[in-house]
Structure 1
Amino acid sequence: MRIILTGGGTGGHIYPALALARYIKETDPNADILYVGTERGLESDIVPRSGLPFRTIEVAGLQRKLSMDTVKTFVKLSKGLTQARKILKEFRPDVVVGTGGYVCVPIIFMAKMMGIKAVITEMDVLPGLANRFLSRFADVTALSFAESQQYLPKARSFAVTGNPRASDVMSVPAERAAEIAKDLGLDPHKKTVLIVCGSRGAAPINKAVLAMLDDVANQKEFQLVYVTGQVHYDKIKAEIDNRGLADSKAIIVVPFVYDMPALLQHTDMMVGRSGATTMAEVLALGVPALYIPSPYVTNNHQEKNAVWMVEKGAGLMLKEQGLTGRALYDTINGLVTDSERLSAMQSAARELGRPDAAKTYYQTLQALVRRK
């Protein structure tokens, strides 16, 4: 099978595509996969490191209001469509897969104009503008959550596949999991709470965490692994040292974790943003989460994700606005020390998880390619 993958702008669009590519190559080493992105997006750095062939096109975000930027968008879109047509003509894919971001628009649209089968992927509960536009052209819209169907009335067909990234956390070798536990100095006899908010961290969450660290240091129920983000690490570490908490066995502070799937094997509760990829990872393992949705994303989609998780009994939510150390500590401690409630949330999360998402997605592609 010849496949073009496209998706960019954020890791939430790129990593699921790479997870799918890994599964396909493991299942069918003869599969030919090309990744199409942009020169300026994260994909231009991440994808080549994965070893996948990578080509670029020009693209600009869709505009919600008419302005001079709208003109610039259409100029770039026209150029992107021409570049997309050239790539499609040269590579001759059996199917094109879009995992999110505006780079998908020229590729998916032109694929349909050329009679090439196409699939788009919606990772969030609330679809973004690009996918709402593309759903009328794609042969299949692959969903992480069945509830998303109501927001895509013009979609031609659906497949609830889950997020392929979920499959990555289920395939961590035991030695990798053991190595990260040793590196971090985790106590196997204590529950582990993981707080992580992306590579750049989040200042309001950092403030709340610092405010609760004395309480964390004085309890014996759990150990806290706090991933600060590179930008904030030095300041937070200095504050911890100044407060005499550096030797606390209950507090482990690191700037970044390169092998998050391995660390999640030891996690009893996660605290972080409610992006689609984060949700896919923790659900696959049945890890309950306290979601603090980012208020800075388009259409407030992270809050929609978090609300959905709370309704399903698989998570809790605290809004960033008004977040305090007391509220954060009480929520974490209240769940970790209530074994019955923690177990119920673990079961709810596991029920929603789709650890076989990559396999299901690939089967969807195979069925589509066979369809006349």
Structure 2
Amino acid sequence: MNIIVSGGGTGGHIYPALALIHEIQKHHPDASFLYIGARNGLEQKLVIRDNIPFTSLAITGFKRKLSLENVKTVINFIRAQAKAKRLIHKFNPDVVIGTGGYVCGPVLYAAAKSGVPTVIHEQNSVPGLTNKFLSKYVDKIAVSMKEAAAYFPQEKTVVTGNPRASEILNGDRKKAYDATGLVPGKKTVLIFGGSRGARPINDAVLALLGKIKDKAYQILYVTGDVHYDKVIEEAKRIGLAPNVIIKPFLHNMADVLAVTDLVVSRAGATTIAELTALGLPSILIPSPYVTNNHQEKNARALEKSGAALVITEQELSGERLLSEIGRILTDEERLTAMKTAARKVGIPDAAERLYQVVQTVMNS
């Protein structure tokens, strides 16, 4: 079995792709994969680290306003599509799967026009431009959140959840404590802003550090590699509290989430999938700098279910964040209700569901 997978730009597109590959490998250990990503994209590093064959295309995304850059993008798309067609012809895939990001455009379009079975997966509540474009050509569309189904042809669309959710379920608590220095048995708040970090979240956390040392809970604060040096320098100036641990990045997220009671984070699709699969309450601070403001829409959907509290960047401050953390952690009834609501939204067997969609397309 030969399978081409494409997805890139952010971890929100890449991690679901890798999770699906791992699920397919469970069922078909001898399957061969080729991952097609964007040149110089984050996906290259993550895919190669996973020992999956990787090749790249030179491609850029469309601007939403008319510009000369879009003319260049069209030219790049045509060239990338031609290269993708050659790769498809050479690799002879049984199916081509896209998980979002502009690199999927030429790959899935070339596959569909070549008569190869195709599947796309949309992680967010509001689809991106690439998946909207591809929905006209592909055989099946899988979505993580039911809100996204309304944007696609009903007869093609299936709600599967996000396959990343399936990989987060078996965290090792001991490994988490050993790797981080967290104290077992103490309520834990995990604060992070995504793989690159988020400056507004960092600023809010720094503003509350001086008031945290006497709290009964502990904080694991992940700054992102880019921000770590400045944050740790400022934290030392303020005074490092014994119940605050600061890290630049986490490679063992499944382990850490297993010991977490409350998460403060952005509202990316992968984060939402992880939180709901585990039934974790959250305070979500959606990024306003994303297409169609989809993070706030993701977050509001979770808030509506009772699983999360949303604070916009405009509303965010150290004082507000500290107050909301305290309100949730000291109210056991609310904490339990949020956990229950998160679990109801989650689809922990999402990887298996998406695998079944892929199987259906290949066998049709």
Q: State the partner residue of 1:252.
A: 245
CA distance in 1, matches of 2:344, 2:360: 26
The yes-or-no answer on 1:237 pairing with 2:236 is: no
| Alpha-carbon contact 1:135-1:156 (below 8 Å) kept | no
* Cα pair distance change 1:75/1:162, threshold 3 Å: same
Of 307, 311, 321, the residue aligned with 2:304 is: 311
Deviation at 1:252, TM superposition (A): 1.3
CA distance in 2, matches of 1:205, 1:15: 23
Q: State the partner residue of 2:202.
A: 206
| Alpha-carbon contact 1:7-1:98 (below 8 Å) kept | yes
CA distance in 1, matches of 2:146, 2:337: 22
Q: Say which SS state the counterpart of residue 229 (structure 1) adopts.
A: coil
Q: Say which SS state the counterpart of residue 300 (structure 2) adopts.
A: helix
Q: State the partner residue of 2:117.
A: 117
Deviation at 1:213, TM superposition (A): 1.9
| Alpha-carbon contact 2:5-2:35 (below 8 Å) kept | yes
Q: Say which SS state the counterpart of residue 327 (structure 2) adopts.
A: helix
Q: State the partner residue of 1:157.
A: 156
Deviation at 1:50, TM superposition (A): 1.0
* Cα pair distance change 1:60/1:233, threshold 3 Å: closer
Q: State the partner residue of 1:278.
A: 271
Aligned 1:6-85 pairs, distance under 5 A: 6-85=6-85
The yes-or-no answer on 1:188 pairing with 2:176 is: no
Q: State the partner residue of 2:142.
A: 142
Moved over 6 A (4+): none
CA distance in 2, matches of 1:156, 1:58: 33
CA distance in 2, matches of 1:202, 1:368: 39
CA distance in 2, matches of 1:170, 1:199: 20
The residue identity in structure 2 corresponding to 1:159 is V
* Cα pair distance change 1:235/1:355, threshold 3 Å: same
Q: State the partner residue of 1:350.
A: 343
Query: What's the RMSD between the two structures over aligned residues?
Result: 1.5
CA distance in 2, matches of 1:242, 1:67: 46
CA distance in 2, matches of 1:199, 1:368: 33
Q: Which 10-residue stretch deviates more, 303-312 or 248-257?
A: 248-257
| Alpha-carbon contact 2:24-2:355 (below 8 Å) kept | yes
| Alpha-carbon contact 2:39-2:59 (below 8 Å) kept | no
CA distance in 2, matches of 1:320, 1:67: 29
| Alpha-carbon contact 2:149-2:158 (below 8 Å) kept | no
How much identity, in percent, do the aligned residues show?
A: 47
Q: Is there any run of 5+ residues in structure 2 with no aligned partner, and where?
A: none
Of 310, 319, 330, the residue aligned with 1:326 is: 319
Deviation at 1:156, TM superposition (A): 4.8
Of 257, 264, 268, the residue aligned with 1:264 is: 257
1:212-262 residue CA offsets vs partner (Å, 9 max, x unmatched): 123321221x11111112232233323333333x3x332111121111111
* Cα pair distance change 1:70/1:211, threshold 3 Å: closer
| Alpha-carbon contact 2:176-2:259 (below 8 Å) kept | no
CA distance in 2, matches of 1:95, 1:41: 23
The yes-or-no answer on 1:2 pairing with 2:16 is: no
Deviation at 1:155, TM superposition (A): 6.0
The residue identity in structure 2 corresponding to 1:238 is E
Q: Is there any run of 5+ residues in structure 1 with no aligned partner, and where?
A: none
What is the number of equivalent residue pairs in this alignment?
364
CA distance in 2, matches of 1:227, 1:15: 19
Q: Say which SS state the counterpart of residue 212 (structure 2) adopts.
A: helix
Q: Which 10-residue stretch deviates more, 270-279 or 223-232?
A: 223-232
The residue identity in structure 1 corresponding to 2:286 is P
Of 210, 215, 221, the residue aligned with 2:211 is: 215
Q: Say which SS state the counterpart of residue 219 (structure 2) adopts.
A: strand
Q: Say which SS state the counterpart of residue 300 (structure 1) adopts.
A: helix
CA distance in 1, matches of 2:221, 2:107: 39
| Alpha-carbon contact 1:97-1:118 (below 8 Å) kept | yes
The residue identity in structure 2 corresponding to 1:308 is A
| Alpha-carbon contact 1:9-1:43 (below 8 Å) kept | yes
The residue identity in structure 1 corresponding to 2:131 is N
Deviation at 1:332, TM superposition (A): 0.8
| Alpha-carbon contact 1:37-1:57 (below 8 Å) kept | yes
Q: Say which SS state the counterpart of residue 217 (structure 1) adopts.
A: coil
CA distance in 1, matches of 2:361, 2:248: 43
| Alpha-carbon contact 2:12-2:269 (below 8 Å) kept | yes
